[in-house]
Amino acid sequence: MFELLGIPPQVLFGQLLLGLINGAFYATLSLGLALIFGLLNIINFTHGAQYMMGAFVAYLLLNLLGIGYWPSLFLAPILVGLVGIVLEKTMLSRLYKLDHLYGLLLTFGLALLIEGAFRQMYGVSGLPYPIPDVLKGGQNLGFMFLPNYRAWVVVASLLICFATWFLIERTKLGSYLRAATENPALVQAFGINVPRMITLTYGFGVALAGFAGVLAAPIYSVNPLMGSNLIVVVFAVVVIGGMGSILGAILTGFGLGLVEGLTKVFYPEASNTVIFIIMAIVLVLKPAGLFGRAR
């Protein structure tokens, strides 16, 4: 058996693969955040709670209505997105004229409120969600045993990221969105309903979080606090990628997952901090982020 730098290959490739899986979640979540930030200029602190809600909606659909994983993968994001739209319409939209910090504070408060409510109802010990039958079992890749479901997570998140990128960068609708990000007043003057666009963008970003939540449900147990620590890492990912940059969010999401995996091989103690260290370095060298433009 050959070794690389004294590391057995099954450890190296295994951790890289697990890193890629984590990266899939980072990418999907930071994509939603970046979309919202681009148009609304708000850091959506509720994103972690909305990710958790995605998982819970899937859990409840299964246990109350008997709706399985595959329909939930579409239904849950839509439901979570609708909740997001209601929040935007009733609360967030009142704050656009104020300092953007108020948006941050409001979404932070909402995150506490939502997480607290779910904790009160379901405890924090975690609820099980079964892996769909088609994806049970796994593949022996030689260096490790890869559960089919985890491979699916990477594929699904790549698909949704690509679709979102395509929608925004290559379609007419996307061009309106990009224009509105640059200059909302001008786009409004062209007769496009910018407030509605903002609402829908928020809903879509939140739905992405819900989607990630459904993906996560069978891997991690469904837990009210599942998003609360993840979200801070995702913030760092967004800052590194450049706030508001779609491609930046996707690439840094996957990239940082891999970096984290590598760190687990060579210096596990730093695996939790490495993303924040990279963030500090990026801020010093390129304050707008790797893919961002200074505003």
Nearer to another protein, 85 or 167 (CB): 85
The one segment of 102-110, 159-167, 176-184, 248-256 that binds another protein by CB under 8 A: 102-110
| DSSP per-residue string spanning 134-188 | GG-SEEE-SS-EEEHHHHHHHHHHHHHHHHHHHHHHHSHHHHHHHHHHH-HHHHH
The pair of structure tokens assigned to 264 is 């687990």
Among 164, 223, 245, 252, binds another protein (CB under 8 A): 223
Nearer to another protein, 110 or 206 (CB): 110
Does residue 105 interact with another protein by CB under 8 A?
yes
CA distance 248 to 251: 5
CA distance 261 to 100: 35
Q: Taking the mean position of all CA atoms in its chain, how far away is CA 75?
A: 17
Nearer to another protein, 107 or 201 (CB): 107
Residue with tokens 């496009």: 192
Nearer to another protein, 18 or 168 (CB): 18
Site for another protein in 138-157 (CB under 8 A): 138, 140, 144-145, 147, 149-150
Nearer to another protein, 204 or 235 (CB): 235
Site for another protein in 10-49 (CB under 8 A): 10-11, 14-15, 18, 21, 41-43
Question: Are the C-beta atoms of 182 and 252 separated by less than 8 Å?
Answer: no
Site string for another protein, 156-175 (x = CB under 8 A): --------------------
Size of the site for another protein (CB under 8 A): 71
The one segment of 91-99, 154-162, 177-185, 186-194 that binds another protein by CB under 8 A: 91-99
Residue with tokens 């593949």: 139
Among 75, 220, 247, 251, binds another protein (CB under 8 A): 220
Residues 83-115: b if buried by 16+ CB within 10 A, e if exposed: bbbebbeeebeebeeeeeeebeebbeebbeebb
Q: What one-character DSSP code corresponds to residue 63?
A: I
Q: Pairing between strand 145-147 and 138-140? A: antiparallel
Nearer to another protein, 41 or 188 (CB): 41
Does residue 61 interact with another protein by CB under 8 A?
no
Nearer to another protein, 75 or 262 (CB): 262
Does residue 125 interact with another protein by CB under 8 A?
yes
Does residue 261 interact with another protein by CB under 8 A?
yes
Rounded least distance, CB 168 to another protein, Å? 21
Does residue 193 interact with another protein by CB under 8 A?
no
Residues 237-251: b if buried by 16+ CB within 10 A, e if exposed: bbbbbbbbbbbbbbb
Among 34, 36, 95, 250, binds another protein (CB under 8 A): 95
Does residue 99 interact with another protein by CB under 8 A?
yes
Does residue 117 interact with another protein by CB under 8 A?
yes
Question: Are the C-beta atoms of 18 and 261 separated by less than 8 Å?
Answer: yes
Question: CB-hemisphere CA count at 13 Å for 105?
Answer: 7
